[in-house]
Amino acid sequence: MSKSLARVTAALKAAGIDTRPIEMPSETRTAQQAADAAGCALDQIVKSIIFAGDSGQLYLFLTAGGGMVDGAAASRLAGEPLGRADANRVREVTGFAIGGVSPLGHLTPLPLWMDENLLQFQIVWAAAGTPNHIFAIAPQDLARITGACLAPFT
């Protein structure tokens, strides 16, 4: 088991969430790939979008698979202008490579917000730290265990 997958599995277990990451036969790097693999609606996929602030701080936005983060709204929430995060910096800070960034199990905790649209589903699917692993979770549980603030930013 990779270190990334082990961190996600341990975080789920520590939070008392009764789910395990599932290895899919094909990549789940994109929301559409993950939805196809899970057999669910695109918006049931939790995208972990990371932005970098002018200060260098990274910020995590969890959004529904078909949604797009509005940069101006995200910047208002973060309290500083946001731009694209460098892939190497994302890996260094979170421990995950782009395409497998999980909403939990990060090496360094990040300020994070969650798209309220995810709450319309009983179950959502999120990356589990690798390009081939995802896990199912109730969106309310995901918000609770990550400490995400619910906010409109799409």
Per-residue model confidence (pLDDT) at position 111: 97
- CATH H-level, domain 3-151: superfamily: YbaK/aminoacyl-tRNA synthetase-associated domain (3.90.960.10)
| Domain locations along the chain | 3-151
Q: Which residues of the chain have pLDDT under 50?
A: none
pTM of structure: 0.94
**pLDDT at residue 95 in the model:** 95
Q: Please choose, from the candidates 74, 75, 134, the residue with its C-alpha nearest in 3D space to the C-alpha of residue 99.
A: 134
